[in-house]
Amino acid sequence: MRVSGLLRLLSLIATLVATWLFLRSSGSLSVKTIRLPRWLGLAPKEIRVPKTKCGLSKPCPANFFAFKICSGAANVVGPSMCFENQILMSPVKNNVGRGLNIALVNGTTGQMVRMSSFDMYSGDPSLLLKFLTEISEGTLVLAASYDDPGTKMTDDIRKLFSSLGSSYAQQLGFRDSWVFLGAKDLRNKSPFEQFLKSNPETNKYEGWPELLELEGCVPQKTF
Ligand SMILES: *[C@@H]1O[C@H](CO)[C@@H](O)[C@H](O)[C@H]1NC(C)=O
């Protein structure tokens, strides 16, 4: 009695397992049938676009920070700054202004330290001078122009930007387009800079040159 009960249980289990195996194999069969058109070229290929930080054209290597800086377009669209996939400043964040927009980032951690915009047409340039003087060692400096970065520019401010690695701050003037990434303790000129002089002959917009875009990978500082 007990033995036949055990046998019945075993045969029940065997039936269940066989059913499961059958369902599984026919299941995979039907999957194969569905997939057939793919290798006939009828189904659209799966396109996987790897998303890069800040939408860069190529991802950055390990121990590099990704960044993208866009200057303002004429006096209409404000500038934007992305660092390690974080939008630091942009018209959408409503934290940009005409003049110079500057964000400071810790060069080791990539954390945003401080950011501000400085009106260089009718503002007080001593505010920007103070801001630049207080930057500590190992800090990355991101800058973007909007409308007019040059009218209130002073020699002291130009010198400070040059010491951060800028090649064009010396000639930055009325309505020029400028995007820049430098660092406090940079000994050489930064490779991350673009500049367009406002020139009525060549300006893309009436009165302003074209907006500039700067993207790249900046090495993380290790102390
Ligand atoms: C960057 O962050 C690290 C860790 O919080 C800190 O020790 C260092 O002083 C910071 N550097 C700057 C330049 O702020």
Query: Is the distance from the beta carbon of residue 220 to the nearest atom of ligand 1 less than 6 Å?
Result: no
122 pLDDT band, cuts 50/70/90, is very high
Higher local confidence (pLDDT), 207 or 96 = 96
C-alpha 113 to ligand 1 mean position (Å): 9
24 pLDDT band, cuts 50/70/90, is low
The kind and range of the H/E element at 60 are none
25 pLDDT band, cuts 50/70/90, is low
Average pLDDT over residues 136-165: 95
Average pLDDT over residues 111-121: 95
Query: Is the distance from the beta carbon of residue 134 to the nearest atom of ligand 1 less than 6 Å?
Result: no
Higher local confidence (pLDDT), 72 or 180 = 180
Q: Are 182 and 164 in contact (CB under 8 A)?
A: yes
Whether the CA torsion 115, 89, 211, 194 is positive or negative: it is positive
Atom 11 (ligand 1): residue with closest C-alpha?
106
pLDDT at 29: 44
Query: Is the distance from the beta carbon of residue 138 to the nearest atom of ligand 1 less than 6 Å?
Result: yes
- For residues 152-174, one letter each, b for 16 or more C-beta atoms within 10 angstroms of the residue's C-beta and e for the rest, the string is bbeeebbebbebbbbebbeebee
pLDDT at 198: 82
Instruction: Work out whether strand 112-118 and strand 213-219 pair parallel, antiparallel, or are unpaired.
Output: unpaired
Q: Which of 104, 106, 137 to mutate to test the pocket of ligand 1 (most atoms within 8 A of CB)?
A: 106
From the alpha carbon of 184, which atom of ligand 1 is closest?
Answer: 13
Query: Is the distance from the beta carbon of residue 177 to the nearest atom of ligand 1 less than 6 Å?
Result: no
Q: How many CA atoms does the CB half-sphere of 193 hold within 13 Å?
A: 17
Residue 106, classed as helix, strand or coil, is strand
The number of residues making up the chain comes to 223
209 pLDDT band, cuts 50/70/90, is confident
CA dist., res. 37 & res. 29, Å (int):
14
202 pLDDT band, cuts 50/70/90, is confident
pLDDT at 39: 52
Q: Are 115 and 103 in contact (CB under 8 A)?
A: yes
User: From the CB of residue 133, how many other CB atoms can be counted at a distance below 10 Å?
Assistant: 10
Average pLDDT over residues 4-33: 59
Burial grade of 118 (CB within 10 A; 0-12, 13-18, 19 or more): buried
Higher local confidence (pLDDT), 134 or 41 = 134
pLDDT at 69: 96
C-alpha 201 to ligand 1 mean position (Å): 46
Query: Is the distance from the beta carbon of residue 110 to the nearest atom of ligand 1 less than 6 Å?
Result: no
